[in-house]
Amino acid sequence: MAKGSAETSGDEVSGKPLPADEPGDEAQSNPAGADSDSDSDAEPDTEPDSESDGEPDADAPAETEDASQPEDSRPRRRRPHPKSSWAAVLAWVVLPSLALLLAITAGVLRWQYDTMRYAQIAGVQALQAAREGTVAMLSYKPETVEKDLTAAQDHLTGTFRDSYTQLTKDVVIPGAKQQRISAVDRVPAAATVSADWGHAVVLVFVDQTTVIGDDPPTDMASTVRVKLDKVGDRWLISEFQPI
């Protein structure tokens, strides 16, 4: 016992350090400890990562979806009332008003077309009546003067017919018989000034040749403004004014 203690004390007294363990020996001596340490170190790293990765993945689509949809568009989709109200206004107000406007426009255009068309027809008819009436009023022969001028009255109307009848009866017929006066008229030109449903004005250019007894013929040209009225289906002269 004394010898062993002396050896121990001798080593301690000599001051020689004990040899350190090599790295290989330490790794070999504690392989399980290294694995346990690595496992313990890996577990904290894996669990937070799994939790952090899982939570953002669940929230990321929601954030993307919210960002992709404007805030103002979502309430409009949920409230269809403005669209339905506009549809009602369109169906009950706009479309009927448009149809009424089109009908009125079509009616006005039709009326204008009919008016213009009838005015053209009336102008042609009145023009022909003015030409024929003028020739009948101013043309006669001494042998047939009474018959000729009486027939001319059929082209006249109103107060003008009365005054013409009185003039021919008192002046023209007796003078034509006594002086053997004859008159021949023709209308080289005429133009419609205006014409509507019941009235027309025609400008008539008259060339008249008059023979009194044995005297040579006398030619005279004149222009007459003739007014006509529609009586029944005929145009009759209501005024005869030389200009």
- The pLDDT tens digits of the residues spanning 96-142 come to 777 778 888 888 877 777 777 888 899 999 999 999 999 999 999 99
Q: What is the pLDDT of residue 96?
A: 73
Q: What CATH class does 112-242 carry?
A: alpha beta
Is the pLDDT higher at 171 or at 56? 171
- The pLDDT tens digits of the residues spanning 27-45 come to 444 444 444 444 444 444 4
- The pLDDT tens digits of the residues spanning 139-170 come to 999 999 999 999 999 999 999 999 999 999 99
Mean pLDDT throughout 210-236? 96
Q: 205 with 188: CB under 8 angstroms?
A: yes
Q: Is the pLDDT of residue 181 over 60?
A: yes
User: Whose CA is closest to 185, among 119, 154, 141, 153?
Assistant: 141
End-to-end CA separation in angstroms for the chain: 178
Given CA atoms 96, 102, 105, 107 in this order, what sign does their dihedral have?
negative
pTM: 0.56
Mean pLDDT throughout 220-229? 97
Q: 224 with 236: CB under 8 angstroms?
A: no
Q: What is the pLDDT of residue 217?
A: 96
Alpha carbon 87 to chain centroid distance?
A: 22
Query: Model confidence at 52, in pLDDT bands (50, 70, 90)?
Result: very low
The rounded percent of the chain whose pLDDT value lies above 70 is 61
Mean pLDDT of the chain: 75
User: Whose CA is closest to 181, among 172, 192, 190?
Assistant: 172
Distance of alpha carbon 7 from alpha carbon 189, whole angstroms: 169
Q: What is the pLDDT of residue 171?
A: 96
Half-sphere exposure of 14 (CA within 13 A, CB side): 9
Domain spans of the chain?
A: 112-242
Alpha helices in the chain (DSSP H): 2-14, 23-29, 31-68, 73-78, 81-89, 95-138, 145-152, 158-167, 173-179
Query: Model confidence at 64, in pLDDT bands (50, 70, 90)?
Result: very low
Q: Is the pLDDT of residue 21 over 80?
A: no
